[in-house]
């Protein structure tokens, strides 16, 4: 095999990467209010798209919304009436802080813990930046 054939073979083995930052399409928050509870119906779907653990996202939202909450496997519930646009804004700030790479602005990241610190590690560019721990 010559160089061009080897190069073509290597390119075929690489994962397909879409161009642009619009690759990450986070679903809009769908809520339902029952009495004094606000339920996010598509919480597990949002977590799948973001590739984050539901427990982490729920911890962030309960802290930011200053209300207790829970997760039942599919949906998240909060113990107060919360407007949909407020939850959406908090979700957007979570994506900016804990999902998007600070260097290349791509969503191909994962959270890793080293000792007591949490880092955002980008699989696309290899950047590693510290993020605030959620207590």
Q: Kindly list the domain boundaries of the chain, sorted by start residue.
A: 25-99, 103-135
pLDDT at 52 over 90: yes
Quick check: 108 and 101 in contact, CB under 8 A? Answer: yes
pTM, two decimal places: 0.79
In the predicted structure, residue 17 carries a pLDDT above the cut 90: no
CATH of domain 25-99: 3.30.30.170
**Mean pLDDT lowest among 1-10, 34-43, 62-71, 82-91:** 1-10
* Coil/strand/helix, residue 9: helix
The mean pLDDT of 2-19, rounded to a whole number, is: 79
pLDDT of residue 21: 46
Q: Alpha-carbon distance 10 to 6, whole Å?
A: 6
DSSP 26-74: PPPP-EEEETTEEEETTHHHHHHHHT--HHHHHHHHHHHHTS-EEE-SS
Residues 77 and 38: beta-carbon distance below 8 Å:
yes
Over 80: is that where the pLDDT of 93 sits? Answer: yes
Q: Please check the confidence at residue 103 and state whether its pLDDT lies above 70.
A: yes
Give mean pLDDT, residues 40-61. 94
- Please give the average per-residue pLDDT across 103-111, as a whole number: 90
């Amino acid at each position: 095999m010559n160089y061009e054939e080897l190069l073509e073979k290597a390119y075929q083995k690489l994962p397909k990467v879409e161009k642009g930052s619009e690759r990450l399409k986070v679903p809009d928050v769908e809520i339902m209010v029952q009495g004094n509870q606000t339920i996010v119906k598509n919480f597990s779907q949002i977590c799948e798209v973001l590739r984050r653990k539901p427990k982490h996202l729920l911890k962030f939202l309960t802290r930011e919304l200053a209300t207790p909450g829970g997760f039942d496997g599919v949906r998240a519930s909060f113990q107060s009436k919360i407007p949909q646009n407020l939850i959406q804004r908090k979700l957007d700030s979570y994506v900016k802080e804990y999902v998007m790479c600070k260097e290349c602005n791509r969503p191909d990241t994962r959270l890793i813990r080293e000792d007591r610190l949490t880092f955002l590690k980008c699989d696309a560019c290899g950047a590693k930046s510290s993020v605030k721990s959620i207590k």
